Amino acid sequence: MKIAISTMFDCVIDCKGQKYTSLKNTSVLELEMQNEEEVFLLFYPINDAKLISYATTLKIENDKLNFDNSHLQYSVDNFGDYELVFLPFQLYDISLQKAYKNVQNGFNMFIVQSQKNFVCFDDGEEVFFEEFSGKLRNHEFSTISTNPSIMLKTDIGQQLFVFNAQKTKIEKFFGNIEIKEDDVICVIDEKNDFAKHATRKEYKFEQGEIVTISNELLYARSKPQKTTKPKIVPMAFFEAIKQKNFLLAKEYLSQNLSKQITPEVLEEYFGEFDKIKPYNFQIDKGYFVNIIKGEKSKIFRIRIQKSKIDEIEFYDSK
């Protein structure tokens, strides 16, 4: 995958230890990246004392480019190659009424509310930042395992940002968050699906790595909400599969089909997927469901008899 990089400000770009001078709106750097490759970039502004340095990471995952901040513009051509244009970062131009500041372990930390909302970690040389969503209601600056952290309470929930000093990157957590004894980060994430699934995960920093020390599937209402409505059964079935709750998924199968299919078969047959969408509503032909992983999708036809699934047929893929 080819990635062309330019900037909307004059700067020096540090890439893999090499320095490249980038003048405004001039393409300066072209990378050839492979799947699972990761590249760390540093931007040092020149010719403008108001701008500050910052860093970002580019990574190819599943043949798709991921970047760890949104302070850029990008486009993708028909061959899957990217053009990235990085924007200047002007933290100190923002009114103090819209910024909160704190210092922890030598790091300046900021919460910036402007046209876009950011949390920022400044070690005196580079600024690392991450955009956050929602309307800020409360915040707390702290440290977790000596790493500077910012906890936000917004109208869409809690968001925790921790600067991993050893990896020089920002770690992000979303959900109902609690910092427990020994700096264990507990996150309950409600899935907003029909059964009201939720996950309860506990994380801990160990030698610069985030280690998951527990992972539990829960229900927000203590037990799963179920349905017998034919139009909802296929979606509820696939939502259970998505959460790897195969015992609940089997409850939506007919008695005969449930006897034939084990949880292991369900996991292997459907695999992992991110999204579930109805494909069409040709009820006379069955219920069609599209499960999506990245840019790939699989379509299945579901037949319902007496509120139970009695037939699952692979229909198409895209």
- With respect to residue 40, please indicate whether it lies within any of the assigned structural domains: yes
pLDDT value at position 114? 64
CATH at residue 261: 3.10.450.50
What is the maximum alpha-carbon separation in the chain? 74
Give, in order, the Cα–Cα distances in Å from 26 to each of 23, 48, 53, 238, 298: 6, 17, 19, 48, 42
- 79 & 101 share domain: no
Residues 125 and 42 in one domain: no
* Same domain as 209, residue 117: yes
Residues 210 and 104 placed together within one structural domain of the fold: yes
Instruction: Identify whether residues 211 and 292 lie together within a single domain.
Output: no
Q: What is the pLDDT of residue 94?
A: 44
Residue at 228 is within a domain: no
With tokens 């931007």, the residue in question is 43
pLDDT, average across residues 155-160: 95
Provide the pLDDT for residue 219: 92
* pLDDT of res. 115: 62
The single residue listed with the structure tokens 């990471």 is 57
* 245 and 207 assigned to the same domain: no
pLDDT at residue 28 greater than cutoff 60 = yes
Which residues share a beta bridge with 131? Answer: 118
pLDDT digits (tens, 9 = 90+) for 204-235: 999 889 999 999 999 988 899 999 999 899 99
Same domain? For 191 and 95 the reply is yes
pLDDT at 104: 78
For residue 293, the enclosing domain spans: 233-317
Asked, for residue 181, whether it belongs to a domain, the answer is yes
* SS3 state of residue 46: coil
Domain boundary among 86, 115, 143: 86
Condensed to tens digits (0 to 9), the pLDDT of residues 91-138 reads: 544 444 446 777 777 788 888 776 668 888 887 777 788 889 898 999
CB-count burial class (<10 Å; 0-12, 13-18, 19+) for 260 = exposed
pLDDT at res. 93: 46
* Top mean-pLDDT range of 76-85, 278-287, 307-316: 307-316
Give the chain's mean pLDDT: 88
Tell whether the model's pLDDT for residue 247 goes beyond 70. Answer: yes
Answer whether residue 26 shows pLDDT above 50: yes
Q: Mean per-residue pLDDT for 37-63? A: 83
Residues 115 and 212 in one domain: yes
Q: Which of 21, 23, 39, 19 is nearest to 31 (CA)?
A: 39
CB 201, CB 187: distance < 8 Å: yes
- pLDDT higher at 28 or 162: 162
| Residue 19 in domain | yes
Both 200 and 297 in one domain: the answer is no
Q: Would the CA dihedral through 210, 213, 217, 220 be positive or negative? A: negative
Candidates 67, 107, 64, 101; CA nearest to 87 is 67
- Would 227 be classed as within a structural domain? no
- Please check whether residue 241 lies inside any domain of the structure: yes
Percent of the chain with pLDDT over 70: 92
**226 domain-assigned:** no
Whether 307 contacts 228, CB under 8 Å: yes
Domain count within the chain: 3
CA angle 160–163–168, rounded 5-degree value: 145
Q: 171-201 pLDDT, tens per residue?
A: 999 999 999 999 999 999 999 999 999 999 9
- pLDDT, tens only, 252-280: 999 999 999 999 999 999 999 999 998 87
Above 90 in pLDDT, residue 307?
yes
